[in-house]
Amino acid sequence: EAVPAYNSGKVFHPKQNGWVGYVLTLSTGQRIYHSGDTDAIPEMEHVKTDVALMPCGGTYTMTATEMAAAANRFKPAILIPMHWGDIVGAQADAAAVAKAFTGKTVIKAVER
């Protein structure tokens, strides 16, 4: 299932490019949403998922606060912050998501 992925207030991922994130449904029925590079957009509110992977770096995508607020609207059981700690964003962004999200947040830094 494709879900639009775009920036609403930035130039990096324009809506007219038609980029998408995906909701994958496993054979167990569990649903996983990978939002792609996006801001918090109205289309997210209709996502039905158990696990959500969403960006929180802030420069090219939504901020940690925006990401947690978006996830709190569609309420995945597990939220995994991504796009932090490499080019933009920091572990503090992922920690801010964990604090603001009402469900379970999984944060794992990649060992380098």
Nearest-angstrom CA–CA distance, 87 and 90: 9
- Whether 112 is in a domain gets the answer no
- Whether 110 is in a domain gets the answer no
At 82, which CATH number? 3.60.15.10
- Whether 111 is in a domain gets the answer no
- Whether 71 is in a domain gets the answer yes
Percentage above 90 pLDDT, the chain: 62
- Whether 60 is in a domain gets the answer yes
- Whether 12 is in a domain gets the answer yes
Q: Is the dihedral of CA 66, 69, 41, 33 positive or negative?
A: positive
Q: What is the pLDDT of residues 7-50, one digit of tens each?
A: 998 899 999 999 999 999 999 999 999 999 999 999 999 999 99
Domain containing residue 83: 2-105
